[in-house]
Amino acid sequence: MREVAVIGVGNTPFGELWEKSIRDLYVEAALKALDDAGVDRVDALYVGAMSSGMFVDQEHLGALMADYIGNYHIPAVRVESACASGGLAFRQGYMEVASGMSDIVLVGGVEKMTDIEDATFALASAADQDNESYFGATFPALYAMIARAHMHKYGTTRDQLAMVSVKNHKNGALNPDAQFRLPITIETVKKSMIVADPLNILDCSPVTDGGACAILCPLDMASKFKGKPVKIIGSGAATDSIALHSREDITALKAVRLSAERAYQMAGKKPSDIDVAEVHDCFTIAEIVITEELGFAERGKGGPLVESGKTALDGEIPVNTSGGLKAKGHPVGATGIAQIAEIVRQLRGEAGKRQVNNPKVGLAQNMGGSGASSITHILEVV
């Protein structure tokens, strides 16, 4: 297997982008990534998207995006793994370059979610339709059940859930591309509209339009291009039962733990080696459980971890410096690549006001559904 580098990243601003179509979003992100890398051709393209058919009535995204970036005879593949579609597209592109099949690969993700009234219905199609969605158990409801169980089993508090949102909104306020750039308090979270008890609207990631892309090439070819390379040293993917009721313990996210263990093993790293992380905080409880599964805290101690300040921008292990899904926004197919873009910027020292102190190793964890799929990548400065 060849060593692979990320040599360029780019993304659109995230938010309600009424004036931009799904192809505009992907192409804008792709052109920014190509420009950042300093390349003018790609050998293949991947696009992660969860549900473009339900959101904007558009399928066949591989060919569409290849056509609209002006490189339309290349192989082009759409990848779907619910909200982990972007992370999985990144992994597929990584494997294509590592295998020697292609040299320069564009990996991206996109979602245009605000054009329809009922985004909740489209999102719920990534849960178990027959056993969950059909009975009204949408994602806010499923994560509310996880939160209640975690509070009951480990004593996680309402305030600790809110602290995740407060931290991520504080970081998002420093990110010019974030959907919400508004610092908030614990009280604001607790007084915001209830969505599914104990989760209020400020515990939830929003509905978002956006695109993100990255350019990959073999590490030994990276010096030919202008983009400052960052090496991919670990990639892990895993799945779990799609429905919560089939799991032994709904306070755990086994696919996250397995994807992380596989990435750590491949990279030869352990949790204490990670200097900065982007994780899938689709709901505040998700960040708490994920930090446990990644080994940043013991099981059941994700709440005390956020309360300690260790995951803050100036903490021991800053988590979601971009603002996370909560504040930066969550255009589902794009999220996994946007996480990679943040880690690349942090490792290059290009994260502006949210730059952490001299990070060497970063981790990006992207999750599908209520934890039925998870992809973890570990990146290192060259």
Residues in contact with ligand COA by the rule CB under 6 A: 83, 120, 123, 139-140, 180, 195, 201-202, 204-207, 282, 330
Strand locations in 17-104 (E): 44-48, 76-79
**Distance in angstroms (rounded) separating the CA atoms of residues 196 and 144:** 6
Q: Shortest gap between Cβ of 325 and ligand COA (angstroms)?
A: 8
Q: Shortest gap between Cβ of 200 and ligand COA (angstroms)?
A: 9
**Distance in angstroms (rounded) separating the CA atoms of residues 4 and 94:** 7
- In the numeric block, the tokens 């708490």 are attached to 288
Nearest CA to 83 out of 118, 45, 113 is that of 113
Q: Shortest gap between Cβ of 50 and ligand COA (angstroms)?
A: 9
The residues with which 168 forms a beta bridge, in sequence order, are none
**DSSP sequence for 89-130:** HHHHHHHHHHTTS-SSEEEEEEEE-TTSS-HHHHHHTTS-TT
Annotated catalytic residue 330:
yes
202 versus 212: smaller Cβ distance to ligand COA: 202
Q: Shortest gap between Cβ of 53 and ligand COA (angstroms)?
A: 17
5 versus 166: smaller Cβ distance to ligand COA: 166
192 versus 308: smaller Cβ distance to ligand COA: 192
197 versus 220: smaller Cβ distance to ligand COA: 197
> Is the distance from CB of 87 to CB of 163 less than 8 angstroms?
no
Task: State the first-to-last Cα distance of the chain, in angstroms, to the nearest integer.
Answer: 18
Gyration radius (Cα) of the chain, Å: 19
Q: Shortest gap between Cβ of 336 and ligand COA (angstroms)?
A: 13
**Distance in angstroms (rounded) separating the CA atoms of residues 163 and 284:** 8
**Helix/strand/coil percent split, the chain, to 5:** 40, 20, 40
Nearest CA to 170 out of 327, 284, 279, 306 is that of 327
**Distance in angstroms (rounded) separating the CA atoms of residues 74 and 343:** 28
5 versus 82: smaller Cβ distance to ligand COA: 82
Q: Which tokens in the block code for residue 110?
A: 């996109």
Do β-strands 4-11 and 209-218 pair in parallel, antiparallel, or remain unpaired? antiparallel
Active-site pick, 83, 204, 213, 282: 83
122 versus 343: smaller Cβ distance to ligand COA: 122
Q: Shortest gap between Cβ of 351 and ligand COA (angstroms)?
A: 23
195 versus 222: smaller Cβ distance to ligand COA: 195
Annotated catalytic residue 204:
no
Active-site pick, 150, 169, 330, 377: 330
Angle between the N-to-C axes of helices 284-293 and 254-267, in degrees from 0 to 180, rounded to the nearest 10: 40
Burial class (CB in 10 A: 0-12, 13-18, 19+), 371: buried
The residues with which 15 forms a beta bridge, in sequence order, are 209
227 versus 323: smaller Cβ distance to ligand COA: 323
Q: Shortest gap between Cβ of 299 and ligand COA (angstroms)?
A: 22
Do β-strands 44-48 and 105-112 pair in parallel, antiparallel, or remain unpaired? parallel
Do β-strands 361-368 and 276-278 pair in parallel, antiparallel, or remain unpaired? parallel
Q: Shortest gap between Cβ of 281 and ligand COA (angstroms)?
A: 10
Which residues are known to be catalytic? 83, 330
